[in-house]
A and B are shown apart, each in its own frame.
Chain A
Amino acid sequence: MTAWVHRNLIVRAEHVQLARDLCRAIAGPQAQAGMFSAPLSPTGAAPATHYASVGLIDADFAALLPPPDHSSEIAALALQAGMTVSQSEIAEMLAASDVSEGSPWDAMARLGLQMVQGGAS
């Protein structure tokens, strides 16, 4: 049975495609669509500088997230799934990312980020 844990994952915009691709490789195509879909920026206005994924994730997946650095293990899992990506690329993305528990609003405030608002019209 899957054990679920709550995490706030925030990646820089230049890393979001890699983050989504790694989720797809490791967790399957179904996982990609629902990951890193929330745009963030310092002012709350577009363009997004970061993207957030907030919610329940598999505990096994959570164990791969920093700290410590698991980039070599992630690269190996990606390779098993047919995705070639260097360990250094993954390490760079992880080093620039923020992983936390608790309130996503606290995490955004700590990083000086706000949700990019989509409007209501």
Chain B
Amino acid sequence: MLIRWASARPWSPAALFAAGEVGAWYDPSDLTAMYQDAAGTIPAAVGQPVGLLLDKSQGVASAEQIVNGRFDSDISGWVNAGGGTLAWADGDLQITVTGTAGFAAQSIGGATPGGRWYRMSGRARVVSGGGNAQAYLWDGTTAYGASAAITSASWTAFQTFVFLPATVTSAVIRLRAGITGAVVEFDDVSVVSVAGNHATQSGTARPTLMQDAGGRYYLAFDGVDDSLSAAGVNLSGTGKVVVVAGLLKASDSAIGVVVTHNDPISSTQGWMLTAPTVAGTADFGFRSRGSGSAALASFADASVAAPRLAVICAASDIAGPEVSLRINGLMRATTSTSQGAGFFANAALSIGRRASGSPFNGRLYSLIVRGAASTAAQVEAAEAWVNSKTGAF
């Protein structure tokens, strides 16, 4: 007897990126994917600000960049970068500071370390001499993602997420020990590259992680200064994009930028999802631009007046040309106005606000950006998944 087994595995937005499609998948319902600070040192909980929102489109896949971070039998792989002596000490790397600070280092990222995210972690302790321990990435000029200085005699863990700019062509992890005469030890050191277009913010401009009455998680954007930004989202190889956002629009009084790529699109190629698009109007809209002028698909109607919970699916094809806007699974606006030619850019993705203002006032339950041609089935699956996190229809 032939038995056919149906897959019980639920559909995941990860399927949209399985072939290496560029984009991002932000999921505020995943509490393992958010941190209070941009450096990713403190996990975020409900009622707390979110300074780092991990992009799950690449599965937050990680690849170890260094060798021998556990120092099980020796300190091979590490070089003395000056200021002290290095020794193996019963499973740890020990630095005795002879200058003002001593350093151990190891290359990371191969020939192209720039333009990528890394998670640096480990633990350290000060054995004697009243010194301190710190780790950071170093390109020969600038320190990136420096951990907080550890001064305790007890083993203290550190973890930092850090983005190396695309201009960085070589980098090392530096283990730093200060001060003169101090003896400091490191163990369990790791630097992994963390795939994805992770979004960050700092200060009061961080959105707040919240839960609605139905238990659904969302990021609250205050309509004043809240936003998140992901650097270097590379859509330069495509002129097609689909954006699916689960949101609650809290107000129609002022223009609200939900998400935009390569702001400002008035002068360069890019796209922008707005809620509302026109101040004082009950609408949603999506603009997209190639080498020409921006084309707008918008839907204005009392049925979408704020406060309005909605799953928005916006799509653009520069070459089509076509811009479309679906609301809660229904096609509400399309335009075939020319956007010019070409592809989108390798540029920042801004969530909740553009550089010049127009902050979004509302909630973001989920956001998917996919820089590729998408089938109707893919769009509908993405809408259904986002709606499961939003409860809009």
Hey, which bits of chain A sit against chain B, CB under 8 A? Answer: 2, 4, 7, 9, 23, 27, 30-35, 37-39, 52-57, 104, 115-121
By secondary structure, the A interface counts as mixed
Q: Which of B51, B225, B274 touches A38 (beta carbons < 8 Å)?
A: B225
Is A120 touching B205 in the complex (CB atoms < 8 A)?
no
Give every chain A residue within 8 A of B48 (Cβ-Cβ): 2, 4, 56
Q: Which of A31, A33, A118 touches B356 (beta carbons < 8 Å)?
A: A118
Known: A54-B224, A55-B226, A120-B287. A30 touches B357 (CB 8 A): no
Q: Which residue of B has the minimal Cβ distance to A51?
A: B225
Q: Which of B47, B222, B357 touches A118 (beta carbons < 8 Å)?
A: B357
What would 7 A/B residue contacts be, using CB atoms closer than 8 Å? Answer: A34-B203, A38-B224, A52-B225, A54-B224, A54-B226, A56-B204, A118-B255
Give every chain B residue within 8 A of A4 (Cβ-Cβ): 47-49
Stretch from B33-41, B173-181, B321-329 contacting the other chain: B33-41
Give every chain A residue within 8 A of B222 (Cβ-Cβ): 54-55, 104
Is B254 touching A115 in the complex (CB atoms < 8 A)?
yes
Is A116 touching B287 in the complex (CB atoms < 8 A)?
no
Q: Is the C-beta of B363 less than 8 angstroms from some C-beta in chain A? A: no
Q: Which residue of B has the minimal Cβ distance to A52?
A: B224
Q: Is the C-beta of B154 less than 8 angstroms from some C-beta in chain A? A: no
In the complex, the 9 A-B pairs of residues with the closest C-beta atoms, listed nearest first: A34-B203, A118-B357, A55-B204, A118-B356, A34-B205, A34-B202, A118-B358, A35-B203, A38-B225
Give every chain A residue within 8 A of B202 (Cβ-Cβ): 30-35
Known: A35-B205, A119-B356. A104 touches B224 (CB 8 A): yes
Q: Which of A35, A115, A120 touches B204 (beta carbons < 8 Å)?
A: A35
Is B203 touching A33 in the complex (CB atoms < 8 A)?
yes
Q: Which of A32, A115, A117, A119 touches B203 (beta carbons < 8 Å)?
A: A32
Q: How many residues of B contact A (CB 8 A)?
A: 40
Is A116 touching B357 in the complex (CB atoms < 8 A)?
yes
Give every chain A residue within 8 A of B206 (Cβ-Cβ): 34, 55-56
Q: Is the C-beta of B42 less than 8 angstroms from some C-beta in chain A? A: yes
Give every chain A residue within 8 A of B274 (Cβ-Cβ): 120
In whole angstroms, how far apart are the Cα atoms of A121 and B357 in the complex? 12
Give every chain B residue within 8 A of A34 (Cβ-Cβ): 201-206, 225
Hey, which bits of chain B sit against chain A, CB under 8 A? Answer: 36-39, 42, 47-49, 51, 201-206, 208, 222, 224-226, 254-255, 257, 264-266, 272, 274, 277-279, 285, 287, 294, 354-359
In whole angstroms, how far apart are the Cα atoms of A35 and B292 in the complex? 35
In whole angstroms, how far apart are the Cα atoms of A51 and B357 in the complex? 12
The minimal Cβ–Cβ distance linking B365 to chain A, given in whole angstroms, is 19
Tell me how many residue pairs across A and B have CB atoms closer than 8 Å: 108
The minimal Cβ–Cβ distance linking A111 to chain B, given in whole angstroms, is 14
Known: A38-B357, A120-B287. A56 touches B49 (CB 8 A): yes
Give every chain B residue within 8 A of A23 (Cβ-Cβ): 203
Give every chain A residue within 8 A of B257 (Cβ-Cβ): 118, 120
Give every chain A residue within 8 A of B51 (Cβ-Cβ): 30
Q: Which residue of A has the minimal Cβ distance to B267?
A: A121
Q: Which of B38, B201, B285 touches A120 (beta carbons < 8 Å)?
A: B285
In whole angstroms, how far apart are the Cα atoms of A9 and B225 in the complex? 11
Q: Which residue of A has the minimal Cβ distance to B208?
A: A56
Q: Which residue of A has the minimal Cβ distance to B294?
A: A121
The minimal Cβ–Cβ distance linking A31 to chain B, given in whole angstroms, is 5
Give every chain A residue within 8 A of B37 (Cβ-Cβ): 30
The minimal Cβ–Cβ distance linking B231 to chain A, given in whole angstroms, is 12
Q: Which residue of A has the minimal Cβ distance to B202?
A: A34
Known A54-B204, A118-B257; further 16 A-B contacts with Cβ < 8 A? A23-B203, A32-B202, A33-B203, A34-B202, A34-B206, A35-B202, A38-B225, A55-B203, A55-B222, A55-B225, A56-B49, A104-B222, A115-B357, A117-B254, A118-B354, A118-B358
Give every chain B residue within 8 A of A118 (Cβ-Cβ): 255, 257, 354-358
Give every chain B residue within 8 A of A57 (Cβ-Cβ): 204
